[in-house]
Structure 1
């Protein structure tokens, strides 16, 4: 297929994009922020129909011969926002081109030749990374369009904010739910025997995914429009609750679990550090505390390095709760006191700076967010002299020699997947972690519940 089908499909797809460009260019002239005229002019309706036909032909040539659509797409006056999940690939653009809905995307995309013109046609909401105030402006623009009573095109948002492997739904970002207007959940499925679609931060790259998919003779995709979800008064006041409840509705329709992890949590778990935890490790409790304290996940890794350097300069001296709060640049609160007590119990209770097997079990269970963990083999491997206690230096030396210690000593019988495109034969509880399926991101708070009609 690489020598026959692939080049033909690739060239045809490029041709169709070039064919669509002049129509999109003419139709996108003028001010992008100007409210669309109502009703649409006849020539714009014709251009819209032609572009949908051209894009559908392009997908057909790429192997998506039949797109199964279930349910009914709501009118803009019924639901101004469409929330799509799971987000797993750039092929998720199929429902965008079929509906010509607006999307939220990087401002740099409009400068891409040809593709940028096609993007501008659907009047997207652009997010600028260089503008520190961009997030607030984006939310305000989404609210302005959502509350226009159907004058603007529907906005199609992927609330997960990143691509996953479709085994669960991660935490939804609140942007689509802040306006407090009804949304229509839309779920995507790719029921192919061989998964060449999934594109995550691990596994095949974008070009390899494109090559593998175009080499498949037939690719399947299902788009299901669920009933419009109207928020309660409580959900309007609490976008996080609104997002969580919509996510549970979508997860039920997909038949998958949910996890309260975010992309930033996974970045933290995958970060290179002294502990060098394996990629399937989850620091959920720590992530909950981070969010509860209002710390910024995107700069947390640098902060941790800075805190580590400060702790080294202390040379064993203890810090009190106020000093701990000053290090984190966070106010003293119950959540912070809980974190401080945890560290104090772990590290300050041993005068010789050594810990027992029970202490190691407590630390690792807290760090990994699991209820049970067999650490006997790991402890014995570290404690070569059979002293019954190990120091941090012993642990550091051991992890340097065995960076994959979790797979070797904690989960020796667990199958490890080399790529996110592979799905375990027995689904894990939440798709990312192997031990639990959390229900709340609020430290000490109550888990959100589905709205009762």
Structure 2
């Protein structure tokens, strides 16, 4: 059919469409790298339905680590998969500095988005449990930035205006209850505070992706979709 219509064939699955088009407080930008992450998840044989059941287990393990970085072997053990080229590709998405160490919390946030793309607040709540201070579950601006960058699959994101809008008492920290209350009052907060001027996010590809009608990142085409390849650039930090 594609040949008859003169259009290209893509290797997106139904789950990819759900991820890219999901309604929620945080709509994924066109050049999100979570589509590549989702494809690697599938390549490793990790089933979304099982992952969703295991999210609490993964998040508790990540919370106990408290931001302590881990290498590829421990990363594999945490996900209960063997070390492989595919896993190394996934690992590199979170190894922004190239140090060979990653924060498991970031991977758990990305897994939550892939497993339940329309349930934004559930993902944010899970992230607050992992990043939040032990005494009150609060996070600072730096942690909020990390949470939202990972949830959106982008390399750069400014959250200062959003954080200040939520932290009206200027405590320098916010809880999930604060975030949830703000999101309920301002459901379009992302458009206003995170990318009001259509902020350009760093591309998944070596060159900026072309704009395409369905909002997918243009470099996710069949000829470039070999799940075992090394990523051209680090995507998440």
Q: TM-score, normalised by structure 2?
A: 0.52
2:192 corresponds to: 408
1:378 corresponds to: 162
2:53 corresponds to: 306
Structure whose residues are more often helix by fraction = 2
Shift of 1:267: 0.4
1:438 corresponds to: 219
Q: Does 1:341 align with 2:73?
A: no
2:17 corresponds to: 266
Q: Does the residue aligned with 2:102 lie in a helix, a strand or coil? A: helix
Alpha-carbon distance between aligned partners in 1 of 2:63 and 2:155, rounded to the nearest angstrom: 31
1:286 corresponds to: 34
Taking structure 1 as reference, are residues 331 and 395 closer, same or farther at Cα in structure 2, changes over 3 Å only?
farther
Taking structure 1 as reference, are residues 318 and 386 closer, same or farther at Cα in structure 2, changes over 3 Å only?
same
Q: Which has the larger radius of gyration?
A: 1
Higher relative contact order (Cα pairs below 8 Å, separated by 6+ residues): 2
Q: Does the residue aligned with 1:83 lie in a helix, a strand or coil? A: helix
- Could you tell me which runs of 5 or more consecutive residues in structure 1 were left unpaired when the two chains were aligned: 1-80, 88-158, 161-171, 174-260, 415-427, 448-453
Alpha-carbon distance between aligned partners in 1 of 2:214 and 2:53, rounded to the nearest angstrom: 29
1:5 corresponds to: none
- Contact 1:280–1:433 (Cα < 8 Å) also in 2: no
Alpha-carbon distance between aligned partners in 1 of 2:44 and 2:28, rounded to the nearest angstrom: 23
Shift of 1:377: 1.9
Shift of 1:383: 1.7
Structure whose residues are more often strand by fraction = 1
CA root-mean-square deviation: 4.4
Taking structure 1 as reference, are residues 377 and 271 closer, same or farther at Cα in structure 2, changes over 3 Å only?
same
Alpha-carbon distance between aligned partners in 1 of 2:62 and 2:149, rounded to the nearest angstrom: 27
Taking structure 1 as reference, are residues 354 and 314 closer, same or farther at Cα in structure 2, changes over 3 Å only?
same
- Contact 1:277–1:404 (Cα < 8 Å) also in 2: yes
Alpha-carbon distance between aligned partners in 1 of 2:102 and 2:185, rounded to the nearest angstrom: 31
Alpha-carbon distance between aligned partners in 2 of 1:429 and 1:295, rounded to the nearest angstrom: 30
Taking structure 1 as reference, are residues 284 and 382 closer, same or farther at Cα in structure 2, changes over 3 Å only?
same
- Could you tell me which runs of 5 or more consecutive residues in structure 2 were left unpaired when the two chains were aligned: 67-73, 95-100, 110-126, 199-209, 233-237
> Which of residues 317, 323, 328 is equivalent to 2:64?
317
Taking structure 1 as reference, are residues 406 and 372 closer, same or farther at Cα in structure 2, changes over 3 Å only?
same
